[in-house]
Chains A and B, each alone.
Chain A
Amino acid sequence: MKSTNEFVLDMLEKNRKPLIKIITVATIGALLTVITPYVYGKLFDLAIIPNTTTNILFSLIFLWLVLSLLSNYISNMTGYMGEVLGSKMGNEAEAEAYSHFLTLPILFHKKEQKGEILQKIARGSYSLQDIISSVSDVLP
C-alpha cells in the first residue's frame, strides 16, 4: 500500500505542469512582496530627514503602491491556481476511487457498508484537495 506522502507526490507528479506554473507565479509574487517593506523602511528613513524632497517621497509612495497592488494580485492568483489544482487532484482521486470501487470483488460489496466506503472516498479526496489548495499559501 502507498503511504500518504507517496500518494500526494504521485498526484503532484501527474500534475507537474500546473504545479510548476503555481511555483513560478508564487516566486514572482514573493519577490515583489519582499521588496515592499524595504521600500517603506527607506521611505520612513527619508521622511524623517528634513531636506528630502516631496518628489522623492511621492515617487517612493507610488512605487510602494504599485508593488503592493501587484503582489496582492499575484498572491490572489496563486491562491486561485492552488484551489483549482487542489480541486482537480481531489476530483481525479475521487473518480479513480469510485472506478476502483466498481472493480472490487462481490464479497467485498456484500460485506462492507456502502455508506462507510463512500464516506471514506469523499473524505479522502476532500482532504487531498484541501492540502493541495493550502500549499500555495506557503510557496515558495
Chain B
Amino acid sequence: MLVFSLIAMFIIRVELAAIFVLAFLAYILFTIKLIKPEIKARTKEQKAYGKQYGKVYDKLYNVFLVKNFVMEDKERKMFFEALVGKIMPVVRDAANKSRKVSVTQGIINSISFVAVLGGAIFFLREGKITPGQFVMFFGYISLAFNPLRFFGSLYRKYRRASIAIKRFLKLQAIAPEMMKHGNKTFKDVKGDINFQNVSFGYIKDKFVLKGISLSIKSGETVALVGKSGVGKTTLAELVMGYYQPNKGKIFLDKTDISEIQLKWLRDQIAVVPQDLNLFNDTLINNLRYANPKATEQQVIFAAKAASADEFIKKLPKGYYTKVGEEGIKLSMGQRQRIAIAMAFLKSPKILILDEPTASLDAESERKVQEGINRLVKGKTTFIIAHRFSTVRNADKIVVLDNGGIAEIGNHAELMRKKGIYYDLYTLQKGLD
C-alpha cells in the first residue's frame, strides 16, 4: 500500500511527495533512536515477569506443602508482592518510555501532515494541481500513513518481541542431554555394571562421589546404604545417564555408557521411585505409559505381580478409573505398587529401587515388598534404602560415607565387621 501510494503521490506532485518522504524518514529515524531506552526497560520488565512467575508457580506446584503448613494467607501476600509490588514499578517505567516514543511519533505525524497540507493548498491556489488531485493526494496520504503508523508500531513490536524471543532462543540453545552420549546399542544385554574410579559433583571441584570403583554382576542385587545426602541416589542416577562422571567411567557389559545411545540405555532400566506422580488419566493408561504396546492382559498380569490388581479391581471402574491430579486419590502404598507394575511392564534388565518402602506402613510395606521380590528376579538391581529390612537379602551391600565406599559385603559379613553398617543397623533396630 505504502509503495503504491508513494508512486501515485509522485505522479500527482513531486514536491508534495518529497515532503511526505522526508517526514517518513524522520519518523523512522526518531523511532529507531527513541526505542532503545524502551527496549532496555522492556527487557527488565520481561526478566521481572519471569522471575516473579517462577516464584508464584513454585508455590502453586507445592500446594500440599502450603496447605499442610496453613500458609495460604502468607502466600497470598507473596503473590501480590511478586505480581504487583515487584513487577508494577518495572511495568510503569517501560510504559512511560513507550509513551515517550508514541508522543514523538504523534508530533512527527502532525507536523508532516501540516507541511503537506500547506504545500497542497499553495499548489492548489497556484493552479498547479486540480481540486480533484488535491482530494486524491490526501486520499493517498491517508493510505500511506496507515502502513507508516503500522511500520512504526511493528518495528517497536518487533524489538519488544525480540526480547521475549531471545530469552526463548536461549532456552532452545541448551544442548539436549543425548548430545553428550554416543549412539551404540546392542542386542543382548547381560546387565553387568562396572564403576571405574568414578567421581562426580554437581558443582565444579565439589565432589559428591569420589573414586567409586564397584563391580556388579548381571542379576545381582546391590543395596546402597549410608546417611542422607551421601550420594546413594546420585550413584544410581549416574547409571541412568542423568549425569556424566567428572572422572572415571561406568561400563554396561564392558561398554562405556557414555558411548551408548541414551534412549536405548534408559529402555534397559526401570526406576521405582520413592513416590510416583501419576498423570490425570485412567489407571490403565498410566500403566501403559511404561509400555504403550502392552495388551490389557499384560497390564493385568503386571498389576497382579506387583500386588496391585486386588486394590485396582475394587476401584469404581477398575483399571479404567481416572486417577486425580497427580494421583491423589491413591494412597502412597498403592502408588508404589503401580510403580512396580510399571517396572514389570517395562521388563528391563536393570532396576533401580529408590527407597520404595520408605514412607509406608507395615501392611503396605509387606505388599510392596512382595511385588519387589517378584520384580527383582534375574535383574541387576540397585536398592537405595534407609530401612534395613529391604537390604538384608541383597547380594552386596555398599556403604557410602564421605563420598566413597566405606564398606562392602553381604549382611552377615558387614555385621561381623562391626563398622558403619553395624552401627546404622543396630541404631535402626533400636528405633524400630
Q: Is the CB of A115 within 8 A of B162?
A: no
- Cβ < 8 Å to B, chain A residues 116-140: 116-121, 123-128, 130-131, 134-135, 137-138, 140
Residues of A in contact (CB 8 Å), total 54
Which of B133, B134, B158, B163: most chain A Cβ within 10 A? B158
Q: Is the CB of A97 within 8 A of B172?
A: yes
Question: Does B135 reach chain A (CB closer than 8 Å)?
Answer: yes
For chain A, what secondary structure do more than half of its interface residues adopt (helix, strand, loop), or is it mixed?
helix
Contact residues in B for A45 (Cβ distance below 8 Å): 130-133
- Given A106-B242, A115-B53, A118-B57 in contact, is the A37-B177 Cβ separation under 8 Å? no
Q: Is the CB of A104 within 8 A of B50?
A: no
Q: Is the CB of B164 within 8 A of A41?
A: no
Find B176's partner among A41, A103, A121 (CB 8 Å cutoff).
A103
Question: Does B178 reach chain A (CB closer than 8 Å)?
Answer: yes
Q: Is the CB of B132 within 8 A of A113?
A: no
Complex Cα spacing A80 to B412, Å: 76
Complex Cα spacing A2 to B139, Å: 42
Contact residues in B for A38 (Cβ distance below 8 Å): 8, 136, 139
- Given A103-B177, A105-B177, A119-B54 in contact, is the A43-B164 Cβ separation under 8 Å? no
- Given A41-B135, A130-B161 in contact, is the A116-B53 Cβ separation under 8 Å? yes
Interface string of B294-315 (1 = CB under 8 A from A): 0000000000000000000000
Contact residues in B for A1 (Cβ distance below 8 Å): 169-170, 172-173
- Cβ < 8 Å to A, chain B residues 141-189: 143, 147, 150-151, 153-154, 157-158, 160-174, 176-178, 180
Question: Does A114 reach chain B (CB closer than 8 Å)?
Answer: yes
Interface string of A15-42 (1 = CB under 8 A from B): 0000000000000001101101110111
Find B139's partner among A31, A36, A93, A126 (CB 8 Å cutoff).
A36
Q: Is the CB of A104 within 8 A of B176?
A: yes
Contact residues in A for B150 (Cβ distance below 8 Å): 134, 137-138
Contact residues in B for A106 (Cβ distance below 8 Å): 177, 237, 242-243
- Given A115-B56, A119-B53, A138-B151 in contact, is the A34-B143 Cβ separation under 8 Å? yes
Complex Cα spacing A4 to B131, Å: 48
Which of B4, B49, B55, B242: most chain A Cβ within 10 A? B4
Contact residues in B for A43 (Cβ distance below 8 Å): 132
A48 to nearest B CB, angstroms? 6
Complex Cα spacing A119 to B53, Å: 7
Contact residues in A for B8 (Cβ distance below 8 Å): 34, 37-38
The residue of chain B having its C-beta at the shortest distance from the C-beta of A100 within the complex is B172
Contact residues in B for A138 (Cβ distance below 8 Å): 1-2, 147, 150-151, 154
Residues of B in contact (CB 8 Å), total 60
Contact residues in B for A113 (Cβ distance below 8 Å): 54-55, 57-58
Q: Is the CB of A126 within 8 A of B176?
A: no
A68 to nearest B CB, angstroms? 11
A117 to nearest B CB, angstroms? 7
Complex Cα spacing A138 to B266, Å: 51
Question: Does B46 reach chain A (CB closer than 8 Å)?
Answer: yes
Complex Cα spacing A117 to B151, Å: 31
Q: Is the CB of B1 within 8 A of A30?
A: yes
The residue of chain A having its C-beta at the shortest distance from the C-beta of B3 within the complex is A140
Complex Cα spacing A59 to B178, Å: 71
Contact residues in A for B173 (Cβ distance below 8 Å): 1-2
The residue of chain B having its C-beta at the shortest distance from the C-beta of A140 within the complex is B3
Question: Does A62 reach chain B (CB closer than 8 Å)?
Answer: no
- Given A41-B136, A45-B131 in contact, is the A128-B165 Cβ separation under 8 Å? yes
Complex Cα spacing A91 to B107, Å: 38
Contact residues in A for B158 (Cβ distance below 8 Å): 131
Contact residues in B for A101 (Cβ distance below 8 Å): 171
Question: Does A58 reach chain B (CB closer than 8 Å)?
Answer: no
Find A34's partner among B5, B53, B57, B153 (CB 8 Å cutoff).
B5
Find A128's partner among B5, B153, B154, B161 (CB 8 Å cutoff).
B161
In the complex, 9 of the A-B residue pairs with CB atoms within 8 angstroms, ordered by the A residue number, are A2-B169, A2-B172, A37-B139, A41-B133, A108-B174, A114-B57, A120-B168, A124-B171, A127-B164
Interface residues of A (CB under 8 A from B): 1-4, 7-8, 30-31, 33-34, 36-38, 40-46, 48, 93, 96-97, 100-101, 103-108, 113-121, 123-128, 130-131, 134-135, 137-138, 140
What 10 pairs between A and B have smallest CB-CB spacing? A115-B57, A124-B168, A37-B139, A41-B136, A45-B132, A116-B54, A113-B54, A127-B161, A103-B176, A4-B162
